[in-house]
Amino acid sequence: MRKFFGAILTLVVLVSCKEDKIVVEDELVKVEAIEKPPITHFGFNLENFNVVHDTVRRGDSFGELMLKNKVDYPKIATISEKFKDTFDVRMIKVGKPYIILKSKDTSEVAEIFIYQNDKINYTVVDLRDSVTAYKSKKKVRLMEREVGGVINNNLSETLDNLGVDYNVTIDLSEIYAWTIDFFRLEKGDKFKVIFDERYINDTIYAGRGPIKAALFEHKGKTIYAFPYVTDSLKNILDYYDQDANNLRSTFLRAPIKFGYRLSSRYNLNRRIAYYGYKVRPHKGTDYAAPIGTPIIATADGTVTESTRRGGNGKYVKIRHNGTYSTQYLHMQKQKVKKGEFVRQGDVIGWIGMTGNTGGPHVCYRFWKNGHQVDPLREKLPTAEPIADSLRTNYITHIEPLKEQLDCIEFVDPTPEPEENLLTYNQ
């Protein structure tokens, strides 16, 4: 009986293995029967050409590159003259990659020239038959990313430790520029952000998309930020908080963009050793930055002064309305002239060391009703909230985004001290 069952078991195993072998052999046959797809890049079958990959070097010109690759001069002239709006041959830059697709015959004449403007955009110059040129883009996949962090030093370092594009730091600083002073962030402040990352072929990073939603906890106060278009005809987009209040103010918090140091505050009782410790009021707020750093207007207004005078050095003064004016001292050079109207964020000059100054910075002065005040203590006027007619739609729109933000966890990305790691490893 045991021999009988053993025979049956052996038979089952053999049959099973045989079936597996047959299946595997069938699969192998099928794989061999499949034709390899053609290798395409930028819309061309590369198997039809001899392919040259290279980068623009110092001294290269489009004309010389084409002549080296046996393209006749009339075709080069046609591209230069008829397609300058599509491809300005004078604007090719050193270091930019390009591809030349050559004919596969013995002549090896260049038939296609592909110039890569950036990771996504490229320009094709087709030199076959009737010459033509056109712009195109690589297919990009958007991958949504959620990030939450705890700040122990500064926002830029925290996001960098989380492996986030530096431009997200810039975007956050601009969204919250009117409501949070990024020069005075505190240890333990927190943030959450939702944004898209762009990828080519699912692997090559090609930059970030706009911020879809954000949250900042600063000094115990939570401020949400959601983008919303309030005028579809003019495509006006602003960021609003959870109560439909506009995060934009009529004034920016600082006259330079995020990333520089607040070196001296408004102080009416300041004493300086150089002057024998006598009281020398400082009626400005100093922002230290390298020489040449752009200085921006903190609000819309008209330039009333753009000159050089005494200890102020080169400076610009702007009248914003009947109540407020601002002044920007110690410039290396001014960009605007008296009488010009400037918009918030416009560059009006560059950081320098003109006048009485111990180092490169801009002294930012703020007038209210003719008197200099501390802009960091002023409750600055805000922009208009969302219109009542749009409020209900806005609240409905942000509900899922707010819920998504609330579910993101805060992460402290600060690396452990080296001695702690050694102790743990032991």
Please give the C-alpha separations between residue 340 and each of 52, 220, 335, in angstroms, as whole numbers. Answer: 52, 41, 10
Percentage, residues of the chain above pLDDT 90: 50
CA–CA dist 174, 210 (Å, integer): 12
One-letter amino acid at 173 equals S
Mean per-residue pLDDT over the chain, rounded? 84
Identify the pLDDT of residue 312.
92
Q: What is the mean pLDDT of residues 101-110?
A: 92
Q: Are strands 285-288 and 261-264 parallel, antiparallel or unpaired?
A: antiparallel
Domains 40-137 and 142-249+384-426 share a fold: yes
Query: pLDDT digit string (tens) for 237-293?
Result: 889 999 998 888 778 888 998 667 888 877 766 666 555 666 677 788 899 999 999
Identify the pLDDT of residue 165.
93
pLDDT at 314 over 90: yes
One-letter amino acid at 84 equals K
Q: What is the mean pLDDT of residues 93-113?
A: 93
Q: State which CATH number among 1.10.10.10, 3.40.50.300, 3.10.450.350, 3.40.50.1220 fits the domain covering 40-137.
A: 3.10.450.350
| β-strand partners of 146 | 194
Identify the pLDDT of residue 65.
92
Q: What are phi and psi of 142, to 5 degrees?
A: -95, 130
| Polymer length in residues for the chain | 426
Q: What is the mean pLDDT of residues 378-388?
A: 79
Instruction: Report if pTM > 0.75.
Output: no
Q: What is the mean pLDDT of residues 389-407?
A: 95
Q: What is the mean pLDDT of residues 377-382?
A: 77
Radius of gyration of the chain (CA): 32
CATH of domain 261-373: 2.70.70.10
Question: What are the strands, taking DSSP E only, across 61-137?
Answer: 97-102, 110-116, 121-126, 132-137
Break the chain into its structural domains and give their ranges: 40-137, 142-249+384-426, 261-373
Q: What is the mean pLDDT of residues 160-164?
A: 92
pLDDT at 395 over 80: yes
CA–CA dist 96, 256 (Å, integer): 31
211-220, 267-276, 320-329: least confidently modelled range: 267-276
Q: CATH 3.90.320.10: does it fit domain 142-249+384-426?
A: no
How many other CB atoms are found less than 10 A from the CB of residue 45? 12
23-27, 155-159, 191-195, 352-356: least confidently modelled range: 23-27
Q: What contacts 168, CB < 8 A, 6 or more positions away?
A: 147, 159, 193, 195, 208, 211
pLDDT band at 26 (very low <50, low <70, confident <90, very high): very low
Q: What is the mean pLDDT of residues 177-191?
A: 83
pLDDT band at 347 (very low <50, low <70, confident <90, very high): very high
